[in-house]
Amino acid sequence: MTTFGLVTEGITDQIVIENILSGYFDTNDLIVNPLQPERDKDNDNKSDHGGWTLVIKYCQSEDLKKAFQYLDYVIIQIDTDVLDGYEGISYRDKNGELSPEQLIEKVKEKFKSLIGEDFYREYYDRIIFAIAVHSTECWLLPLYYRDNRKQKITGCLDTLNRAINKTEKFTIDKNDKNLEYYKTISKKYREHKILVNNYPNNPSLKIFIQDIETRNIVIEFDE
């Protein structure tokens, strides 16, 4: 059975990515292991060990290297809104604002050095980056908008909240994100057709899907 590991800022990001993977591979039977943060053993909806700094710490650790002993692929997620100014990463250069594609490449280069160039060269085809410009909430906008707001990369949570307040009758508190809300609003991506029709509308979600496509992954199920 093909297996995936998730290194993410938080469990809400894991929920969104799990639903996207289910939609992309058109199955609800994927084996997805949360590496960072781990799910609480008594309640898989809680963890006190999230945050972007722990994503970076995990990628520098031996735990990441050991994960490839029992997983086929590891997905590394981070939002770029936390990285402006981190170790030379900037949203801009002398020519102005970087495009999502340019920013993602810059972040990937940083993670290659964090992971270790030699190790990355050996395992690059099993490492998939899910770099959201500037947050994973931006990836959900195509599900709720048909105009150019589905392509937004800034102010995405506020824009998302305006839509889901009308359709779902709740809003997301940025300081206390309700995991059930993320399950509700991202579950549409579990449908292959919906995912395929919508992912090209957000630039960094499109790059994540294209990164998966380049691996030519075939999901093998145990008999």
176-212 pLDDT tens trace: 999 999 999 999 999 999 999 999 999 999 999 999 9
With cut-offs at 50, 70 and 90, classify the pLDDT of residue 40.
low
**Does 79 have pLDDT greater than 60?**
yes
Question: How many percent of the chain have pLDDT more than 70?
Answer: 95
Report long-range pairs for 41-45 (Cβ below 8 Å, ≥24 apart). 45/11, 45/179, 45/180
Rounded distance between C-alpha atoms, residue 32 and residue 24, angstroms? 14
> What does the block give as tokens for 176?
């206390």
What integer pLDDT is reported at residue 98 of this predicted model?
A: 93
Q: What would the mean pLDDT of 2-15 be, rounded to a whole number?
A: 97
Rounded distance between C-alpha atoms, residue 109 and residue 172, angstroms? 32
User: H-helix or E-strand containing 215?
Assistant: none
Q: What would the mean pLDDT of 102-130 be, rounded to a whole number?
A: 97
What integer pLDDT is reported at residue 44 of this predicted model?
A: 47
What integer pLDDT is reported at residue 7 of this predicted model?
A: 98
What integer pLDDT is reported at residue 43 of this predicted model?
A: 43
Average confidence score pLDDT of the chain: 93
Q: Length of the chain in residues, anyone?
A: 223
What integer pLDDT is reported at residue 42 of this predicted model?
A: 39
> Residue 36 forms beta bridges with which residues?
7
Residue 160 or residue 41, greater confidence = 160
Which letter does DSSP use for residue 92 in this model?
E
pTM of the model: 0.94
